[in-house]
Amino acid sequence: AGVDGLEIDVHLTRDGEVVVIHDEHVDRTTDGSGAVKDMSFHILRRLSAGCSFGTFEKYDPVMWGQERIPTLEEVMELVAHHDIDLNIELKTNVYEYEGIEEKVRDIV
């Protein structure tokens, strides 16, 4: 899209997967409810992260239900082929995710 960089937020699932999602809870941005920290990655991955966009004029109905919360590794693979900066924010101001720093460092 011609951007110079992206800023993303990361959280840890109950089973320790680093996922990219802005909020600590999935209620606002998916069809689920609850805290990311209380969900396994398997459960989190089944949520639709595109369910709110169905009313957008240019939304492709073919994509309905296919947008998922990505892992940090998936985002890293996506941006690896582009000349952009990636600013990764560790969202630890509400919940302290034990070991998130090391996990993110290892992925990066």
Domain boundaries of the chain, sorted by first residue? 5-107
Structure tokens at 77: 């693979």
pLDDT(60) > 90? no
Q: Which residues of 17-51 are buried (b: 16+ CB within 10 A; e: fewer)?
A: bbbbbeebbbeebbebeebbeebebeebbebbbbe
pLDDT for 77 equals 95
Predicted model pTM? 0.88
Fold of 5-107: TIM Barrel (3.20.20)
What does the alpha-carbon distance between residue 19 and residue 1 come to, in Å, rounded to a whole number? Answer: 23
